[in-house]
Amino acid sequence: MFEILKALPADPILGLSAAFKADTNAKKIDLGVGVYKDEQGNTPVLKAVKQAELAYFNSESSKVYIGPPGAAGANTLLQNLIFGASHPAVTSTRVRTIQTPGGCGSLRVAAEFIKKANPPATIWVSDPTWANHIPLLGNAGLTIKTYPYYDATTRAVNFNAMMETLGTVGKGDLVLLHGCCHNPCGADLNREQWQAITELALKNGFTPFIDMAYQGFGEGLDEDAYGVRLMAEKVPELIVSSSCSKNFGLYRERAGGLSIVYQSAADADKGQSNLLSVVRGIYSMPPNHGSAIVETILASTELTNMWHDELAEMRNRIKALRALLNQKLIEKGAQQDFGFIEHQSGMFSFLGINKDQVQQLVQNYSIYLVDSSRINIAGISQANVDYLAESIVAVLKK
């Protein structure tokens, strides 16, 4: 039966990574893969993670399954990180959180759960959105539609067009929102915009679905959770997918969570039984190691403080690189205004150049980025920023 299958094209970002590794140019720069990098181009293990791993290694006494929902302590601490321990949705026991294999696992479990609860549901995603949102949600059999989000002319959120489209979304459908640090464009909703979308959700009855993959990478842990916490307080139902890949640097450990806010504690109990049935039918039990590290850190004041410091260092470095890139582009003679890069959040931004110009950067200068011109800001360093800016300006002048 397998002979009927046709070869599929490689994932564009994974293909870029392979090309980058094979490139012998000493000046090559990888701006494609979406992981945090330090000044030396490495993605290090955080010190807090190293200490937590050692502590957990010394205390672990069994490798027995932890059950479909994951470890209760880890789930509670992650839930408190997202919503706040004193949030009314939490204190009224309307929230249930489970452990998932990373943010991807969380999104897919959420899609299967939605399909179980409301098979005809449509999920509305931003244009643009993270490319993997479409297969993770759509392969569960749900209908995917888009709403306008990023204006390539103004380099900002096209909020009027966004609200006009969301005004047509009604009860039974879901709207996927990026909690912070929008991937791929870096343009985030402000607080007034979050409030307006919350009011619209209440008016029209659609269910917000927030992907929180970068909490702490924008303005801070609490600041980045503003939209989640506002909606959890105001709307009757809410879905939140979270990831520990970026803010804890636990990429390969696949540590994530799925939190669902229900209308009542009774609904939460019923929903949880159905959610765990979905989990049982997909991967049965979640991996433990990554979430155990998160639990060890968040359960320790000392390790939590250490993690906060390391997270702030990553966040501040990205902000500084945004300002530095804009400054260097000006110095190198760029006629185009790149000031928008400084005002965006998280690891990603669109350069705003066309596909041919992107290919020139790749082929002529060994600067690797995807055709959309999305760049990973964390791939920039003090050592390569001058070459990067010179190359971008050279391409723009051709």
Let me know if 246 is a catalytic residue: yes
Partners of 257 in the beta sheet?
A: 99, 242
Partners of 258 in the beta sheet?
A: 98, 241
Amino acid at 348: F
Let me know if 127 is a catalytic residue: no
Let me know if 337 is a catalytic residue: no
> What are the φ/ψ torsions at residue 159 (nearest 5 degrees)?
-70, -35
Report helix, strand or coil for 165.
helix
pLDDT at 12: 76
DSSP element (H, E) containing 69: none
DSSP element (H, E) containing 151: strand 150-151
Catalytic, out of 30, 173, 188, 211: 211
The whole-model pTM stands at 0.94
Structure-block tokens of residue 76 = 């509670």
Instruction: Name the fold adopted by 65-299.
Output: Aspartate Aminotransferase; domain 2 (3.40.640)
In tens, the pLDDT along 206-250 reads 999 999 999 999 999 999 999 999 999 999 999 999 999 999 999
pLDDT at 18: 83
Catalytic, out of 246, 307, 319, 328: 246
Side-chain-side CA neighbours of residue 141 (13 Å): 9
pLDDT at 398: 74
DSSP state of 127: E
Catalytic, out of 30, 37, 130, 307: 130
pLDDT at 23: 87
The structural domains of the chain, with segments of one domain joined by +, span: 11-42+313-397, 65-299
pLDDT at 16: 82
Q: Do domains 11-42+313-397 and 65-299 have the same CATH topology?
A: no
Mean pLDDT by 10 residues, the chain (398 residues): 86 80 91 92 96 95 94 96 96 96 97 96 97 94 97 95 97 97 97 98 98 97 98 97 97 97 96 96 95 97 98 97 97 93 95 94 94 95 96 92
240: buried, middle or exposed (CB in 10 Å: 19+, 13-18, 0-12)?
buried
pLDDT at 8: 83
Structure-block tokens of residue 114 = 């939605």
In angstroms, the CA 319 to CA 341 distance is 9
Structure-block tokens of residue 195 = 């409030």
CA separation (Å) from 304 to 5, 97, 307, 340? 49, 21, 5, 33
**Helix 72-83 / helix 289-298 crossing angle, nearest 10 deg:** 60
Pairing mode, strands 156-157 and 150-151: antiparallel
pLDDT at 235: 97
In angstroms, the CA 93 to CA 261 distance is 9
Structure-block tokens of residue 295 = 């639990």
Please say whether the structural domain 11-42+313-397 has been given the CATH code 3.90.1150.10: yes
